[in-house]
Amino acid sequence: MNDASTNRPESLWAIAWQQLRRKQIAMICLAILVAYAGIWLYAEGNFWSAKLRGVTPNYRISNYAIRNQPPSATHWLGTNYAGRDNVSQIVQGTRIAFEIALLTSCIVIPIGFALGALAGFFGRKIDTGIVYLYSVVGSVPGILLITAISYVVRGAVERSPAMQTVTRYADSGLLAVCIGMGFTGWVGLCRLIRAEYLKHRERQYVLAARAIGVRPAAIMFRHIAPNVAHLIIINFSLSFPGLILTEAVLSYLGVGIANEPSWGAIINDAKQRLWLGNWWELAGATAAMFFLVLALNLFGDALRDALDPKLRTAETKTA
């Protein structure tokens, strides 16, 4: 942190990091998140190496001789209906969870940011139009809209010849769920960004830039954007857990991921065998989901406290 260029004020990020480091819970959560990210990368490697070599990845090879086994030394969480190791299924579930979060964010962030910035910066008719758009999207019951979009997208993706190459590498159900959640999820971010742009529009530095004739696009993206970028990070970390939980519900409604072991799919499978006393499958997937969501929630909170100036001023008052 003690950078050589000392006369530069410390950046928001640096201050935030110092704040975070002081919080024990936040650091524990960060460690958990790093561990999950490691598992995710391992699972990606496993998945892609098989995919590129054109073979069946080992987690998908079924062995009908050892179906529904209880936990043992070789299979810590037993095996599932097709004799696949539950641990490897849950590990792949981690990959799916991260892929969902990242892909969805790839839709949410550009849409939410661009529309929010446009509305807040230009105001007037553009603002009215965008506010109308997000009021409409925000008023449709969320799960219904996601379900409908996912159904439609999956059908379209699977039928269109143009998408054949894409679906060779990505599960069409996964794409559908992400697009469904993406096209409903941008509303929150858009609201936040719009409000920030409304504020910044009137700030001195923006007025100054305008006065010297900087183009509006440049002001929007080069001048204001860096000052509101932290909101994207906060929004991402706080919406990640929601996406994972939503995927589980979508699986139950039948629009989840079709051919890959997402946590939602594992939980729905496990339901069938619960009455046989086969609790480990449910417990394993639930635990995997629980710790990730918990860590994300707590870390997201800490991050928000660290990055959002408003709450920080509140804290300094107590000091």
Partner 1 sequence: MIAYILRRIISVAPIALGVLLVTFLLFRVIGGNPAYRIAGKNATPAKIAQISHARGYDLPYFLNFEKFPQQLFHAQFPRLARNILRGDFGESLTSKMRVSQLLRDGVLPSLCVTTPLFFIELILAVALALLAAYYRDTWIDRSLVVLAVMAMSISSLVYIMVAQYWLASEWRLFPVWGFEGPQYLILPVLIGTVAGTGGTLRFYRTVMLDEMYQDYVRTARAKGVSPAKILFSHVLRNALIPILTNVIVALPFLYTGSLLLESFFGIPGLGRLLVSAISNGDEDVIFAETFIGAVLFVLANTLTDIAYTWADPRIRIK
Partner 2 sequence: MSVLRWLTIAVMAATFAGASASGAQLRDNTLYSVGADFKGFDPADSGDTVSAAMISRVYEGLLEYAYLDHPYRAEPRLAEALPEVSADGLTYTFHLKKGVHFSDDLCFPSGKGREVTAEDFVYSFTRILNPKLESTGDWIFINHVAGAKEWVQAGNLTVKIPGFVAVDRYTLQIKLRQPYPQLIWVLTMPYAFVVPHEAIEYYGREFRRHPVGTGPYVLKDWRFNYRVEFVKNPTFSGQTYPATGELDDRAAGLLEDAGKPLPLLDRIVDYEISEFYTVWQMFLGGQLASTGISKDYFEKVINPQFELSDALQKRGVRLYKTPNMDLWYIAFNMKDPTIGDSTDPAVAAKHRKLRQAFASAIDVPTYCTVIHNNRDTPANTILPPGVAGYTTKPYAYQFDRQRAKKLIAEAGYPNGKDATGHPLRLTMISAGAGSTDARQQAEFFAEQLRAIGVDLVVQQLSFAEYLRREHDGEAQIVYAGWIIDYPDGQNFMQLLYGPNKAPGVNFCNYQNPEFDRLYEKVLTMQDCPERSALYAQMSDIAIADCPWALMTYSLSYGLFQPWFQNYKPHAFPYPNAKFYKVKPH
204 binds, among partner 1, partner 2, none (CB under 5 to 8 A by kind): none
Residue 154 binds partner 2 (CB under 8 A): yes
Residue 145 binds partner 1 (CB under 8 A): yes
Query: Minimum distance from CB of 69 to partner 1 (Å)?
Result: 21
Work out the burial of residue 119: count CB atoms within 10 Å of its CB; fewer than 13 is exposed, 13-18 middle, 19 or more buried. buried
Q: Which two tokens stand for residue 258?
A: 């079709």
Residue 251 binds partner 2 (CB under 8 A): yes
CA distance 232 to 224: 13
Cα-based distances in Å from 210 to 82, 117, 160? 65, 16, 47
Residue 122 binds partner 1 (CB under 8 A): no
227 binds, among partner 2, partner 1, none (CB under 5 to 8 A by kind): none
Query: Minimum distance from CB of 163 to partner 1 (Å)?
Result: 15
Helix boundaries (H) for the chain: 12-22, 24-53, 86-122, 124-139, 142-159, 164-169, 172-201, 204-211, 216-218, 225-253, 263-273, 280-307, 309-318
Cα-based distances in Å from 303 to 30, 57, 240, 241, 261? 10, 37, 14, 15, 31
Site residues (vs partner 1, CB under 8 A):
25, 132-133, 135-137, 139-141, 143-145, 147-149, 151-152, 155-156, 241, 245, 248-249, 252-254, 264, 267-268, 271, 274-275, 282, 286, 289-290, 293-294, 297-298, 301, 314, 317-318
Site residues (vs partner 2, CB under 8 A):
54, 56, 60, 62, 64, 67-68, 81-82, 151, 154-155, 158, 164, 167-168, 172, 251-256, 258-259, 265, 268-269, 271-276
